[in-house]
Amino acid sequence: MSWRDILSALLGVSAYQPPKGYGPDLRDPAVERIREQVGGNLALQPTTRTRWYLADLEAARVAADTGDLSTAAQLCASMRGDGLISGLLGTLTGGLVTLPKKFYGSHKESIEALQARNGSRSVFDDMAPTSELALLAADGVKLGVGIAELVPVPGRDFPIMIRLEPEFLRYRWVENRWYYLSIAGPLPITPGDGRWVLHAPGGRVRPWMAALWPSLGRSYINKEHAFLHRSNYSGKLANPARAAVAPAAATEPQRTGLLASLLRWGTNTVIELPPGWDVKIIESKGEGYQVFQSEIDTCDNEIKVAIAGQVVTVDGGAGFQNSDIHRTIRADIIKHHADGLAYTLNTQLIPPYVASHWGAEAVKTGACIEWDISRPKDLDAEARSLLTAAQAIGQLRETLALFGRELDIDELATRYGIPIRGDVDGDGAPDDAPAPTNKPGASPEPASPGGLLN
């Protein structure tokens, strides 16, 4: 069995999916020649849109359900211009990928290789830069699907992951396959083939509808319009109207002269008026802006709840420190996106690397990655719990020995999450350890004279 077959099993690729699409393969020599002519770039030039209306959001939803994500992706790119959306997404995705990483698995060589450091960075960091991971994770959050390419690097035995613009993603319902519109035409995407990375945390069916862009798009568009209306309102009322009061006996030339003086009214203007004449300013109460500000505040609250799961106390831009992400983003949302990104890397990025270095069979036991989202105070509580458990285990062993019984360490390790070296499947025992003599519910073996089981 080849490593690609093993990866297909890991990904759960359907037997009904066609093995090959209608376009050229990414490795095709013709595609390589075209890329060489443009400096290796694969994506087309993205489209920039600066004005959005609710009708555009409706059209994007209809187009997305046909498999065309171009309008939805353009809207997601425009939403980066909103400070609150940009700040909260940066805290979520940028903060997530900078959390501590943990590698696990029974293939120690792959774990040590990925953790190996070259200066201040590791092999994994060189293969999947945090900036590209953050962008890919943001695409998954906003659009429900993201796409990246594993680009070979001369002189290195591993590629580098480059996030691509999701605007050119297309899904063909009749094939159950994703395509990418590139400079060489539509390219069929095969996740996990060693060149493509398809991040779809929104699910396998209509992942774009499980993303945030429908709700964020409505808030973003309404907020932009409210901002423009408020600015227009403020601009009109920034300079109040000036009025001249002339006595009834004033002649027309006198009125015209005073009006000309008002028109020349500038900074620190001084006007001398004869008795009976007056000049005054007519100001609006200026309360009309409140309706626009109320619209902005409503949209901001919807954005906060959509991204952070709560009405946070900051307006974005909290930074990428580990403490900020836990304070700003709800813990279960961090966990959801961390697990989704780890699943993509564990099925499409790390296995090709393991297979190319240690063979296809090593993929089954190769390294896997996860992000440690535990808060510092949770880690402190966990440490105290382990200390208490250790003391309790020692006392239980002594007590049970008096009655000729032995403590089931594996059961305790599983129940209380005590880490055991070599325990990959989480059953509380090393995977290479022999099976226990007694099964649960069976009668214990006779005790030895010392009170402990042989």
In a domain, 225, yes or no: no
On whether both 160 and 252 belong to a single domain, the answer is no
Q: What is the domain extent for residue 261?
A: 242-282
On whether both 18 and 140 belong to a single domain, the answer is yes
On whether both 336 and 451 belong to a single domain, the answer is no
Predicted local confidence at residue 437, as pLDDT:
47
On whether both 80 and 114 belong to a single domain, the answer is yes
Task: Give the Cα-Cα-Cα angle 447, 452, 453 (nearest 5 degrees).
Answer: 60
Q: Which residues share a beta bridge with 244?
A: 279
In a domain, 393, yes or no: yes
In a domain, 233, yes or no: no
In a domain, 420, yes or no: yes
Query: Within 10 A of 226 (CB to CB), how many other CB atoms are there?
Result: 20
Per-residue pLDDT of the chain (454 residues; tens, 9 = 90+): 566 666 666 665 555 556 666 778 888 899 899 988 888 888 889 999 989 999 999 999 999 999 999 999 999 999 999 999 998 898 889 888 988 888 988 888 999 889 877 666 788 999 999 999 999 999 999 999 999 999 999 888 899 999 999 999 999 998 889 999 999 999 999 888 889 999 999 888 899 999 999 999 999 999 999 988 888 777 666 666 777 788 877 788 877 877 777 777 766 677 777 777 788 777 666 566 678 888 889 999 899 888 888 776 554 444 444 445 556 677 888 889 999 999 999 989 999 999 889 988 888 888 999 998 876 555 555 666 777 777 788 888 888 888 888 888 877 777 766 777 666 555 555 655 554 444 444 444 433 333 322 2
On whether both 79 and 210 belong to a single domain, the answer is yes
Predicted local confidence at residue 60, as pLDDT:
96
On whether both 118 and 252 belong to a single domain, the answer is no
**What is the C-alpha to C-alpha distance for residues 419 and 410, in angstroms, rounded to an integer?**
10
Count how many domains the chain has: 3
| Final residue in a domain of this structure, among 356, 371, 386 | 371
On whether both 131 and 266 belong to a single domain, the answer is no
In a domain, 61, yes or no: yes
The 3 state secondary structure assigned to the chain is: CCHHHHHHHHHCCCCCCCCCCCCCCCCCHHHHHHHHHCCCCCECCCCCCCCCCHHHHHHHHHHHHCCECHHHHHHHHHHHHCHHHHHHHHHHHHHHHCCCEEEECCCHHHHHHHHCEECCEEHHHHHCCHHHHHHHHHHHHHCCCEEEEEECCCCCCCCEEEEECHHHEEEECCCCEEEEEECCEEEECCCCCCCEEEECCCCCCCHHHHCCHHHHHHHHHHHHHHHHHHHHHHHHHCCCEEEEECCCCCCHHHHHHHHHHHHCCCCCCCCCCCCCCEEEEECCCCCCHHHHHHHHHHHHHHHHHHHHCCCCCCCCCCCCCHHHHHHHCCHHHHHHHHHHHHHHHHHHCHHHHHHHHHCCCHHHHCCEEEECCCCHHHHHHHHHHHHHHHHHHHHHHHHHHCCCCCCCHHHHHHHHCCCCCCCCCCCCCCCCCCCCCCCCCCCCCCCCCCCCCC
On whether both 432 and 337 belong to a single domain, the answer is no
On whether both 319 and 407 belong to a single domain, the answer is no
The bridge status of strand 101-104 relative to strand 368-371 is antiparallel
In a domain, 224, yes or no: no
| Final residue in a domain of this structure, among 337, 371, 405 | 371
On whether both 351 and 334 belong to a single domain, the answer is yes
On whether both 208 and 250 belong to a single domain, the answer is no
